[in-house]
Structure 1
Amino acid sequence: MSNSPNSINAEAPQDSALSTAAITLFGIVGPYSFLVSPVVTGQMAGQLDWSAGTIGLIMGCELAGASLVSFPAMRLLRVLSPRTVALLATVLFILANVASSLVTSVELFLPARIVAGAAGGVLSVVALVSAGRSANPPKAFAYWSGGQTVAAAVGLLYLPDLFVHTGIGGIYGCLAAAAALSLAVIAGFGNGLLQSLSGGGERHNLKAARWVLVAIFGFYVAVGGAWAFVGIPGAELGFTDAGIGILSSLAMTAGILGSVFASHVGGKAHHNRFVIASYLLLVLCLGVIEFVADHMVFAAVIVLLQVLWSFLLPLLLASLADSDDDGNMVILSNMIIGGGAALGPMLAGYTIDFLGGYGAVATEGGIILLLSAAAFARSQALAKGAAIQAPSSSLSHG
């Protein structure tokens, strides 16, 4: 992987335990309601008797707030430090979640969730940008991804028990408390402004960064859609809903292994080979999930799918940070991830409705993954070309 002089990594300080903690904790808190959305939406339906359309509207608006806030966050980070932006967003996040825990009418709950989604989106942006500016982006993104994976697994297992005692408000009260506690490590975020190249600097890697964004989007659409309906082939093998839930939680917990591995191999000589190999293994996993007839093999492949997911994502984000001259593309990745995470299950659902069976989803996911891999390969080819052109360009302007 190249490290251009203009890269956001070039000015990064050495990583510290405090910065890693800030990236990890705020990376969990910001999007957490989406990470555990299956149990949250189920509780909304059971406790509040809201229709599926109402619940979908609430979750969709919250996700839209978290994604679209990337644009104003990009502007804010040019005039305020990441630490200041995170502090302001955390205060707003706490207030919105406290409000969410106290109201049960849609008229009040919906705007509270939109505000919470936007504030959480800003926290996600700050965590992503800070990881991209770190001395070791693959390691920072691995902690960001791994923290989300483990926290989601814990939430899926234990939130139903919490809801028995607190109702739906329990998760929002916990999120407010978690955000308040996370302020203890907010100093881990940088106190300097992001550089801007709008004043005439050259974006040598802009095309490469855009292709990495395409790869990340395709990755989320394919894997997110396949994961959302993995219970269908599981049920055909005889797994109960509870069994699928336990297997999914165990797989997500095992996913931390992928993040740990990514933190060690990311940025090394064979970085790109690991990325392409992971894509191919993911395609293979989707095929095996559809055609396997053995319970143990199915369970093993589900675990492998999550490990590969947690391994590949930090490598893609690290490649994006390496190709991003001024940080804008890393900021936009928050919106790209949110869009892919939303589109994947929707596309897979329509595929099942119109084509029938999980096989169509697996085939569709495999094709999208191969296209995503091609986009990544294209980005790396462009990055190499930019690395060659950058020195000659700087000489010609000297």
Structure 2
Amino acid sequence: MTTHSHTLNSDQGLSVSPLARLAAIVLFAAIVPTILMTAPAIAAQLASQWHLSPTQIGDLFSTELGAMSLATLPALWWLKRFDWRRAALLAGVLFIAANLLSMLVTDYGALLALRFCSALAGGSLMIICLSSAASSANPSRVYGLWVMGQLVVGALGLSILPRLFEHYGLAACYLILAALMALFLPLARYFPQAAPAAAQAVEQGPQHSKWQAALGVLGILSFYISLSGIWTFIGSIGAKAGITAEHSGEILAIATLMGIVGAGCASLIGNRLPRQLLLVLGYGLMAGSVLLLLGQPPLARFALAALAFKFTWTFILPLILACLADLDRSGKLMNASNLVIGGGLAIGPAIAGRLIENSASFSPLLMGGACITLLSLGLMLACRVKTIPQA
């Protein structure tokens, strides 16, 4: 069977529109992490409605994040054996069922179990989205839209959910998630049926070594450790500098919009400029924005640092994911990146908290954050494949 015929067969003899596939990738990837993107609003509601302790709330979010990451392990087995469209359909149905049941439970243990199931299904969908984007013609553009979709849903959720919670309680969030998933479920048929055939993967780009893959995975891990460590405590940095909670909140809300702009820029640029140049510029600005927070930053410097940090973080992420896609179009590396992202998000705040406690200042955190950011740049540049210019 030729590569061309495999491509046709993978779409069941139909010419799947790249736009339809893009819509499937972006919309599914936007819905899945909604709980984590709107965590502040949901945490406040869990405290007031369910009267949960901070530890219980923390455990609930850790369960969601952990389950999304753990979805990587079964995916190592089923990605090669199952039709991705059927897998997406099955994961979508499980996601809907878990969210509908989450509306009805009154027991914390039952809620914990249901949120685990919902996040496991969501993580499986996220792996299909990441892997489908890796096999697209322009991964950096697709990943830019992937990040932008999540940020837009997060921003909308944070503005809308508190009002809904006043009238309908936490059930409103779970019902919306189930309804959106049911609405978008027909798009599952636009995913590829499987990864590109080995012959096609060779045609799409040169083979990579395991070392390059390992460097790429370490690059994304260090990137997430740095950004999650800094972003978790950025409000505390502002408070110590004498910036009011109101001003800090306004700045961080605007920073979310800057994040959407950053992801949008990465998507618009796509493959138009050399990725190596964009990585160096993006990482350099991100490290610079971290160092701007040193000392007791006045309001203007704090605002500039926060806005630049969020813009560069969301600008770099699609480029990093596109670098991993260059190394492996089969989806295996993107599956591994799903686990690494969760690990980085968990490790960053844990290290940051200890650095702050042991030094009683934010300087070690900020200096360390800038160094880890530059370490991530070095790893991503080292993993880059020397591609042969295409006609």
Structure 1: 5+ residue runs without aligned partners?
389-398
Q: Which residue of 2 aligns with 1:50?
A: 52
Q: Contact (CA 8 Å) 2:195, 2:330: kept in 1 or not?
A: no
Q: Which residue of 1 aligns with 2:125?
A: 123
Q: Distance in 2 between matches of 1:266 and 1:356?
A: 42
Q: Which residue of 1 aligns with 2:360?
A: 356
Pick from 294, 298, 304: which aligns with 1:294?
A: 298
Q: Contact (CA 8 Å) 1:100, 1:172: kept in 2 or not?
A: yes
Pick from 186, 189, 195: which aligns with 2:188?
A: 186
Q: Which residue of 2 aligns with 1:232?
A: 236
* SS of residue matched to 2:193: coil
TM-score if structure 1 supplies the norm length?
Answer: 0.87
Q: Contact (CA 8 Å) 1:18, 1:187: kept in 2 or not?
A: no
Aligned AA for 2:181?
A
Q: Contact (CA 8 Å) 1:206, 1:323: kept in 2 or not?
A: no
Q: Contact (CA 8 Å) 1:156, 1:249: kept in 2 or not?
A: no
Question: Do residues 272 (structure 1) and 276 (structure 2) align?
Answer: yes
Q: Which residue of 2 aligns with 1:332?
A: 336
Q: Which residue of 2 aligns with 1:86?
A: 88
Pick from 324, 331, 335: which aligns with 1:320?
A: 324
Q: Which residue of 1 aligns with 2:202?
A: none
Bigger mean CA deviation after superposition, 253-262 or 308-317: 253-262
* SS of residue matched to 1:178: helix
* SS of residue matched to 1:290: coil
Q: Distance in 1 between matches of 2:233 and 2:17?
A: 38
Aligned AA for 2:113?
P
Q: Distance in 1 between matches of 2:186 and 2:329?
A: 31
Q: Which whole-Å deviations, capped at 9, do the CAs of 1:353-377 have from their partners, x for residues lacking one?
A: 2222222221121121121112112
Q: Contact (CA 8 Å) 1:146, 1:256: kept in 2 or not?
A: yes
1:267 to partner: Cα distance: 3.5
Aligned AA for 2:189?
A
Q: Distance in 2 between matches of 1:330 and 1:183?
A: 22
Q: Which residue of 2 aligns with 1:246?
A: 250
1:101 to partner: Cα distance: 1.7
Q: Structure 1 75/281 Cα, relative in aligned 2: closer, same or farther at 3 Å?
A: same
Q: Structure 1 204/254 Cα, relative in aligned 2: closer, same or farther at 3 Å?
A: closer
Q: Which whole-Å deviations, capped at 9, do the CAs of 1:23-76 have from their partners, x for residues lacking one?
A: 111111112211222222222122212122222222222222111111212322
Q: Which residue of 1 aligns with 2:262?
A: 258
Q: What is the number of residues matched between the two proteins?
A: 374
1:170 to partner: Cα distance: 2.0
Q: Distance in 2 between matches of 1:204 and 1:304?
A: 33
Aligned AA for 1:77?
L
* SS of residue matched to 2:312: helix
Q: Distance in 1 between matches of 2:337 and 2:226?
A: 16
Q: Distance in 1 between matches of 2:274 and 2:296?
A: 31
Q: Contact (CA 8 Å) 2:195, 2:329: kept in 1 or not?
A: no
Q: Distance in 2 between matches of 1:183 and 1:105?
A: 29
Q: Structure 1 321/291 Cα, relative in aligned 2: closer, same or farther at 3 Å?
A: same
Q: Distance in 2 between matches of 1:170 and 1:243?
A: 30
Q: Which residue of 2 aligns with 1:393?
A: none
Pick from 355, 369, 376: which aligns with 2:380?
A: 376
Q: Structure 1 252/15 Cα, relative in aligned 2: closer, same or farther at 3 Å?
A: farther
Q: Contact (CA 8 Å) 1:163, 1:170: kept in 2 or not?
A: yes
* SS of residue matched to 1:79: coil
Bigger mean CA deviation after superposition, 105-114 or 250-259: 250-259
Q: Distance in 2 between matches of 1:369 and 1:316?
A: 13
Q: Distance in 2 between matches of 1:28 and 1:357?
A: 36
Q: Distance in 1 between matches of 2:368 and 2:195?
A: 42
Q: Which residue of 2 aligns with 1:66?
A: 68
Aligned AA for 2:109?
E
Q: Distance in 1 between matches of 2:71 and 2:46?
A: 25
Q: Structure 1 362/73 Cα, relative in aligned 2: closer, same or farther at 3 Å?
A: same
Q: Distance in 2 between matches of 1:340 and 1:363?
A: 18
Instruction: Report the aligned-residue RMSD.
Output: 2.5
TM-score if structure 2 supplies the norm length?
Answer: 0.88
Q: Which whole-Å deviations, capped at 9, do the CAs of 1:207-254 have from their partners, x for residues lacking one?
A: 212211111111111011101111122223444334333322221122
Q: Structure 1 271/229 Cα, relative in aligned 2: closer, same or farther at 3 Å?
A: same
Q: Which residue of 2 aligns with 1:95?
A: 97
Q: Contact (CA 8 Å) 1:90, 1:123: kept in 2 or not?
A: yes
Q: Which whole-Å deviations, capped at 9, do the CAs of 1:301-334 have from their partners, x for residues lacking one?
A: 2112111111100000000000115321111111
* SS of residue matched to 1:80: coil
1:158 to partner: Cα distance: 2.6
Pick from 205, 211, 214: which aligns with 1:207?
A: 211
Aligned AA for 2:212?
A
Q: Contact (CA 8 Å) 2:196, 2:329: kept in 1 or not?
A: no
Q: Distance in 2 between matches of 1:43 and 1:273?
A: 44
Question: Do residues 218 (structure 1) and 191 (structure 2) align?
Answer: no
Structure 2: 5+ residue runs without aligned partners?
200-205
Q: Distance in 1 between matches of 2:157 and 2:294?
A: 28
Aligned AA for 2:190?
G
* SS of residue matched to 2:25: helix
Q: Distance in 2 between matches of 1:87 and 1:351?
A: 44
Q: Contact (CA 8 Å) 1:225, 1:345: kept in 2 or not?
A: yes
